[in-house]
């Protein structure tokens, strides 16, 4: 196309224009033409303002952005990334606001749930029947009552259970009603109430032992090392005790706890041993001193005895036990000398 242009058409040399374009391309700016009509009008306006004494505005050179290919923004993808980052930020903000909203809803739900639970408990308290415990003075539901039919007293199960356990551990029986006054005949708590009140198995065994102790007595056998209950009346009336356990039958004195010989021909028991000693002296042929009752054994054929016990010195015949006053007693002794 350059070959068809006339020289008058090219008012500006080509090389300076090319150099100017290269310079603008390096600086990143577009070419500004001095013969732009808008620049001329701005110049006329400044001059008119100066004649009127007004301060003209600061001069700004207006650049006509031609936007050739080489002058376009080289980073279009950065603007896309910036837009994408902005969208992500907006998404995060939206997520955080959603979480805050969900937390607020959860707190509101929990508060409403607590309020409804309190109302439910209040309605349940008003709907059920209650009573006043005579021991702890608390208002409790009727399901916690423990009733004593013999005296028409009632208390809460916890208080009555604690009272029963304390009485059992003190080994006091019978267990009397804690609400009967001193002027009234105190009522014993029945076995059904003791079972239903909720004590342990070991504590109930203590109660059974105390109950049996009212009609029986627990005895311990030293031979078989076992214990058993015997009838109280029989125990009180008898002076000896026989082990009630089978295959033992050990017998002992209730007063001194000494074993009693039950064999045939055995001496009668005495706590001080006198009966057993008499039986032994008869078996051995021994005599008592008539003056001091000291046992004496003859060691020679002579029947003339002199007691050697301190302070006694009694003379007697070993055969008949009479006082030996003269030497001719042997000829007059009524007991033959065997």
pLDDT in tens, 55-93: 555 544 444 444 455 445 444 444 455 555 555 555 556
Residue 3 — pLDDT band, cuts 50, 70, 90?
A: very low
Specify if 333 maps to a domain: yes
In a domain, 91, yes or no: no
Among candidates 261, 295, 266, which has minimal Cα distance to 279? 266
For residue 338, give its domain range: 286-338
Flag whether 39 is in a domain. yes
Counted domains in the chain: 2
**Rounded to two decimals, what is the model's pTM?**
0.39
Residue 296 within a domain: yes
Asked whether residue 55 is domain-assigned, the answer is: yes
Task: Establish if 60 belongs to a structural domain.
Answer: yes
DSSP 8-state symbol, 274: H
Find the farthest-apart pair of alpha carbons in the chain and give their distance in angstroms, rounded: 208
What is the tens place of the pLDDT at every residue in 121-132? 777 666 667 888
Residue 234 falls inside a structural domain: no
Cα 146–152–157 angle (5° rounding)? 10
């Amino acid at each position: 196309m350059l070959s068809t242009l006339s020289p008058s058409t090219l008012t500006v040399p080509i090389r300076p224009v090319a150099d100017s374009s290269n310079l603008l391309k390096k600086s990143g700016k577009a070419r500004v033409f001095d013969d732009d009509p808008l620049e001329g009008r701005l110049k006329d306006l400044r001059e008119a303002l100066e004649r009127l004494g007004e301060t003209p505005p600061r001069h700004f050179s207006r650049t006509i952005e031609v936007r050739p290919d080489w002058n376009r923004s080289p980073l279009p993808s950065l603007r896309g990334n910036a837009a994408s980052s902005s969208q992500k930020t907006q998404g995060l903000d939206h997520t955080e606001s959603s979480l805050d909203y969900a937390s607020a809803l959860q707190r509101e739900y929990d508060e409403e749930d607590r309020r409804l639970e309190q109302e439910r408990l209040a309605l349940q308290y008003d709907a059920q029947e209650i009573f006043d415990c005579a021991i702890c003075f608390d208002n409790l539901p009727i399901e916690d009552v423990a009733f004593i039919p013999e005296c028409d007293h009632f208390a809460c199960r916890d208080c009555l259970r604690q009272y029963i356990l304390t009485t059992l551990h003190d080994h006091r029986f019978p267990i009397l009603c804690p609400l009967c006054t001193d002027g009234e005949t105190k009522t014993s708590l029945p076995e059904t109430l003791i079972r239903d009140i909720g004590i342990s198995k070991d504590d109930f065994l203590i109660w059974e032992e105390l109950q049996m102790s009212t009609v029986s007595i627990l005895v311990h056998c030293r031979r078989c090392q076992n214990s058993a209950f015997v009838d109280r009346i029989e125990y009180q009336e008898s002076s000896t005790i026989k082990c009630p356990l089978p295959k033992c039958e050990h017998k002992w004195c209730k007063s001194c706890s000494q074993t009693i010989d039950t064999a045939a021909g055995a001496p009668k028991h005495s706590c001080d041993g006198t009966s057993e000693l008499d039986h032994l002296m008869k078996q051995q042929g021994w005599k008592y001193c008539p003056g001091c009752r000291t046992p004496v054994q003859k060691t020679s054929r002579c029947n003339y005895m002199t007691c050697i016990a301190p302070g006694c010195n009694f003379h007697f015949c070993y055969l008949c036990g009479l006082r030996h006053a003269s030497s001719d007693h042997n000829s007059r002794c009524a007991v033959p000398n065997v």
